[in-house]
Amino acid sequence: MTHDLKESFNADSPPAPAALAAKVRTLAPSMTRSMQRVAEAVAGDPAGCAALTVTGLAELTGTSEATVVRTARLLGYPGYRDLRLALAGLAAHQQSGRAPSVTADIAVDDPIADVVAKLAYDEQQTLADTAAGLDTVQLGAAVAAAATARRIDIYGVGASSLVGQDLAQKLARIGLIAHSHTDPHLAVTNAVQLRSGDVAIAITHSGSTVDVMEPLRVAFDRGATTVAITGRPDGPVTQYADHVLTTSTARESELRPAAMSSRTSQLLVVDCLFIGVAQRTYETAAPALAASYEALAHRHTPRPR
Amino acid sequence: MTHDLKESFNADSPPAPAALAAKVRTLAPSMTRSMQRVAEAVAGDPAGCAALTVTGLAELTGTSEATVVRTARLLGYPGYRDLRLALAGLAAHQQSGRAPSVTADIAVDDPIADVVAKLAYDEQQTLADTAAGLDTVQLGAAVAAAATARRIDIYGVGASSLVGQDLAQKLARIGLIAHSHTDPHLAVTNAVQLRSGDVAIAITHSGSTVDVMEPLRVAFDRGATTVAITGRPDGPVTQYADHVLTTSTARESELRPAAMSSRTSQLLVVDCLFIGVAQRTYETAAPALAASYEALAHRHTPRPR
DNA sequence: TCACCTTTGAAAGATATTTTCAACCGGGTT
DNA sequence: AACCCGGTTGAAAATATCTTTCAAAGGTGA
């Protein structure tokens, strides 16, 4: 599956009911300027845009019909007509559930209570977006591969390395052979050992972190089943991925680095992967979980009161 | 609001959000035979009809385009196009109505899509609980201490160690001196160096992990400001904590270890702490964040497409 | 600067929707 | 029964909307 470029994601989800705002955010970086203007308008006011014709929306955004159609395509619809229908559906949706008013960015002078509320809300949003945007077919395939893998190598650097470690820890707990690699050199060194029947998982929000791409490429070339967990489903890392799991991207602000929401999103994906694997290996996973719990008991003071 | 069914929708003429089936029934007598066929199809399967063009619907009902348009007009829309948009909205609505049963535990035989939904829902719940249960006064105090600390030491083992590392990474990014300790011996060794003006943070879900409590005790004795992030505000660790930040605990199931939801909760707390500190040190934090972003740019492949 | 690739919108081409209009139907009248 | 007439219907023209094409504009690296 060596797809690249724009055509790749036109193939996947034909319809896309909700989670449009999330999709817009994920795809925004791969859009051209004028397409971003259109996407922004659409995400900002679905109801309003649903009432517009191609020409209308083109005028509103100061672009051309062609650009509007292109944007619709990029978002996964066959054409503008279908995007418009989806927007109408979305509008009806929002109508029912009025959003709370903590959506604003976190400001420097926000009282601490607001920070808590906004952050919690944002992360909840990120979770919802991620769940909506996750391709369950890809996830299922990744789960199947991991559940039967001889060994699982995980690559991630920076903030993503923690996510990788988390996954490795959990998989190890249910008796699988899983390792997380942070050092790029060691990662490549290890990747060389992989072959068919092994699984390599790369975690990178940007989709273009060389330190993570390189070991994945090696694993891919060696015949291992490769999985990319990334916020950029069109990024270069997907070249070497048999299965791509997309994380969502929340808008970031000055005080809220992208790493924060991408981490939340990545963790959800990783958890889903883990649970999926645990389901498939239930016979061995359940006792292993119990055993590891037992083994740690003595590390706690006897009676917590 | 006393009106019931039939009377209600005569009032709202221009749009007609729901109650389409009812409208069809009321207006049916005043329709001609072929129009009734169209109206019937529309009321029977809004979603399906939304996918059809005028011609398609005309064929389906064995009538002509003109009749379809007439029917749309009779139902109160300017034309078929608008009826179609309304249908799409209606369909989306119905869809959302059915799916409230994700609250159950994750079972071994749940399809992967359910796993995603349940997990996302659970984590969202955990976030809400955590935000609600977080003591902003304690948080504010912890933030104040951390923002002005000479150095910050963080203790966590197991799953919590990742949370500790995450916090340390982020604090370091905004120019603070923060370290996460995983090795209990090294943690204690380092804790001995602390004194008044330093901050020590212990992260333990159980509130009774000796490997984490011990360094915190040492730091406490040495006069450092100590913070405990724990799910058990009555646990032994709080003895040595000047400020206690409580994380929430979601119910766990066989397949979903406690570590999973506690991690989500801990991360939110840690994020709040971080943002709070970033706010208070904004002058230095903002440029530091920008600088660390710059420094990493070359680790990505130049042009993602 | 130039060559090359990307992005963009004007306009042509294709579809879908709306309107027009004549044929058709059914019932009442001579 | 034959005829007329208002209402109903669909084929086809007219219009609006959407899609595609293509060349010019804009940017980037050598």
| Other CB atoms within 10 Å distance of the CB of residue B3 | 10
Tokens at residue A240, please? 């070497």
Q: Look at residue A258 in the predicted model and tell me its pLDDT.
A: 62
- Mean pLDDT, residues B222-248 taken together: 91
Other beta carbons within 10 angstroms of residue B297's beta carbon come to 8
pLDDT tens per residue across span B4-17? 333 333 333 333 34
Could you tell me which residue, B296 or A62, shows the higher pLDDT?
A: A62
pLDDT-based confidence at A163, cuts 50/70/90? very high
Region B216-242 average pLDDT: 92
**Residues of chain B with C-beta less than 8 angstroms from the C-beta of A169:** 158-159, 162
Distances in whole angstroms, Cα of residue A106 to Cα of each of A114, A254, B282: 8, 9, 13
Closest by Cα among B185, B163, B167 to B176: B167
User: Average pLDDT in the B105-132 region?
Assistant: 86
Mutate to test the interface with A, among B108, B112, B180, B182 (most CBs of A within 10 A): B112
Q: What is the pTM of this model?
A: 0.73
The share of chain A scoring above pLDDT 70, in percent, equals: 81
Q: Are A132 and A19 in contact (CB under 8 A)?
A: yes
Q: Tell me the percentage of chain B whose pLDDT exceeds 90.
A: 36
On average, the pLDDT of chain A sits at 82
Q: Which residues pair with B154 in a beta bridge?
A: B180, B201
pLDDT band at A297 (very low <50, low <70, confident <90, very high): low
Tens digit of each residue's pLDDT (9 = 90 or more) over A209-230: 889 999 999 999 999 999 999 9
Residue A75 phi, psi dihedral angles, 5° rounding: -80, -5
Residue A2: predicted pLDDT: 34
CA of residue B234 to C1' of nucleotide D15, angstroms:
75
Looking at the DSSP assignment, which residues form a beta bridge with residue A203?
A229
Residues A299, B210: C-beta atoms closer than 8 Å: yes
Measured between CA atoms, the residue of chain A closest to residue B158 is A169
Dist. CA B61–CA B206, nearest whole Å: 65
User: What's the CA–C1' distance between B29 and D8, in Å?
Assistant: 15
Q: What is the mean pLDDT of residues A9-27?
A: 55
DSSP assignment letter at B12? -
Q: What is the pLDDT of residues B278-296, one digit of tens each?
A: 989 888 877 776 666 666 6
Name the band, by pLDDT with cuts 50, 70 and 90, for residue B106. confident
pLDDT at A171 over 80: yes
Give the pLDDT band (50/70/90) at residue B18: very low
